[in-house]
Amino acid sequence: MAISLSEIEECVTNFENQDIRYSDTLLAEIINDFLLTLDNDSRNVFIRKYWHFDSIKDIMKRYEMSKSKAESMLFRTRNRLREYLIKEEGVKL
């Protein structure tokens, strides 16, 4: 899974040691598991942004939502991903 990490980089950093990063394989597995926990709208918007690299404008049009809704949905989903990674870190690392 290729994702743009520029906006979610702080989510994929190991919280115990800022110099250690998740391996690509492990990160993909954890993110795939995380995506299954999301409702359809949040999952679709997240995938459109970080897998397909859609702009906010394109996401707004595709899902007929306001800019603020799309941005806040992505913000909340990134925060949930961060929390999920913190939880999974103890299990998977």
Q: Find the CATH number of the domain harbouring 71.
A: 1.10.10.10
In a domain, 2, yes or no: no
The number of domains in the chain is 1
The reported pLDDT for the residue numbered 70 is 97
Answer yes or no: is 1 within a domain: no
Whether 39 is covered by a domain: the verdict is yes
Confidence (pLDDT) at 13: 58
Q: Is residue 3 part of a domain?
A: no
- Over the stretch 47-72, which tens digit does the pLDDT of each residue have? 999 889 999 999 999 999 999 999 99
What is the model's pLDDT at position 77?
96
Under DSSP, the state recorded for 7 is T
- Residue 13: helix, strand or coil by DSSP? strand
Segment 13-36, tens digit of pLDDT: 554 454 445 577 777 888 899 999
Torsions phi, psi of 36, nearest 5? Answer: -70, -20
* 6: in domain: no
Q: What is the pLDDT of residues 2-14, one digit of tens each?
A: 445 566 666 665 5
Enter the pTM of the model: 0.75
* Domain residue limits at 19: 12-88
For residue 69, being part of any structural domain is answered with yes
**Would residue 7 count as lying in a domain?**
no
Length of the chain, in residues: 93
